[in-house]
Amino acid sequence: MKLGRRELLGVGVASTATIALAACAAEPEVTQSESETTSAQPTTPSGDLLLGPASEVMVGSGNKYKIDEMLTILVTQPKAGEYRGFSATCTHSGCIVQGVRDGEIACGCHGARFDQETGAVISGPAKTALGRITIELRGEDLFAIL
């Protein structure tokens, strides 16, 4: 499963909508100006995002990059020079996975394991693969393509 911008931001948009609805119910007299409405929108990471030097991701291991409150990216290097990117949010209950342990992506909350090359579930309780994110190596640096 590869995540697009809409899927990556879906939770944030839903949360923002919930907060906005709760605010409207509590204070029906409040109005927002155009600028307030614009500033309340979630920021959207998009395009080519510099993560850092490729040397931070060892072969057979992984490194996490917290982009914002809604997105943490896990980059793995299952084979020398081959980088894979995933949403680090576990598909079971939303914990941030710990990283690569014993060759598998491990979630510490309830013990799910994922393939570090594909993100596929190796063992539950998660039933769905981690979301894929395209990673590119440019020179010495890794970029996420969102």
Binding positions for ligand FES, rule: CB under 6 A: 90, 92-93, 95, 107, 109-112, 125-126
| Residue number, 6 or 127, with CB nearest to ligand FES | 127
Q: Judge if the upstream peptide bond of residue 28 is cis by omega within 30 degrees of 0.
A: no
Give the gyration radius of the chain's Cα atoms.
18
Q: How far is the CB of 133 from ligand FES (least distance, A)?
A: 18
Residues ≥6 apart with Cβ < 8 Å to 87: 3, 8, 71, 72, 73, 74, 130, 131, 133
Residues ≥6 apart with Cβ < 8 Å to 101: none
| Residue number, 45 or 125, with CB nearest to ligand FES | 125
Q: How far is the CB of 9 from ligand FES (least distance, A)?
A: 20
Q: How far is the CB of 72 from ligand FES (least distance, A)?
A: 13
| Residue number, 3 or 90, with CB nearest to ligand FES | 90
Q: How far is the CB of 61 from ligand FES (least distance, A)?
A: 19
The alpha carbon of residue 40 and the mean position of all alpha carbons in its chain are separated, in whole angstroms, by: 21
